[in-house]
Amino acid sequence: MMDQRYLQPATFIDSDSPLIHAFARDSLTAGDTALEQAVDLYYRVRDGIRYSPYIDYSDPEMHRASSVLANGYGFCGSKASLLAACGRALGIPSRVGYGDVKNHMNSPRLREINNGDVMRWHAFTEFYLEGHWVKATPAFNLELCTRFRVKPLEFNGREDSIFHPYDTDQRRHMEYLEMRGSFADVPLDEIIATYRIYSPKLLGNNSTGDFAAEAEIV
């Protein structure tokens, strides 16, 4: 039996927000099945919400789906929350999953703020479609991928969509180190506790700067 938490609103995956409902329903273009709806949602969030890692990760609103939608930008975790909230708004069982990755193509500024290339609590969305859970990673919008020359992640609803190990020039890109598990809502206390140890500068106001412009110096 499906865990009802994956269908109900939560603190950060606030799928009962009117903003979320309107956005989710406006995203429907391809068809009526849950799989088709999930694919539509994925591309709407991937490209409609700009990726930016320069935020204050200790601010709860940076993790809340409706706030991310209102802002029009977010990082991997907040975009995953938004995608999960949209899925639940349409009745698709949805949750967020996390893993630690090593970004071999970090910009110098992000590397300094993060205290290295290991990005802890990297997030993705998981949808329950056609009898199994499938991963969808809406983090990098298409424009950003083009600037950094990394392969955009596609999603068909049947196969996991996770970061590519190499970019378009066959340089090392993302390396998955370990998975932290799947959650019905953002485990913010755990995330912040980890950042305090490994990446304390993330827990502050880093909102200035244009991450896309840093593609020229990677």
Please write the tens of the pLDDT for every residue from 155-204.
Answer: 999 999 987 655 666 666 788 899 999 999 999 999 999 999 999 999 98
CATH number of 7-217: 3.10.620
Q: What mean pLDDT value characterizes the chain?
A: 89
Q: What gap in Å lies between CA 183 and CA 163, rounded to an integer?
A: 20
pLDDT at 167: 61
pTM for this predicted structure: 0.92
Task: Dump pLDDT digits (tens) for 110-131.
Answer: 889 999 999 999 999 999 999 9
Is 172 strand, coil or helix? strand
Distance of CA 49 to the CA centre of its chain: 10
pLDDT at 196: 97
Residue environment code for 172-205, b if the CB has 16+ CB neighbours within 10 A, otherwise e: ebbeeeeebeebbbbbbeebbebbeeebeebeee
For residue 143, what pLDDT band results from cuts at 50, 70 and 90? confident
Asked whether the predicted pLDDT for residue 218 surpasses 60, the reply is no
For residue 217, what pLDDT band results from cuts at 50, 70 and 90? very low
For residue 212, what pLDDT band results from cuts at 50, 70 and 90? low
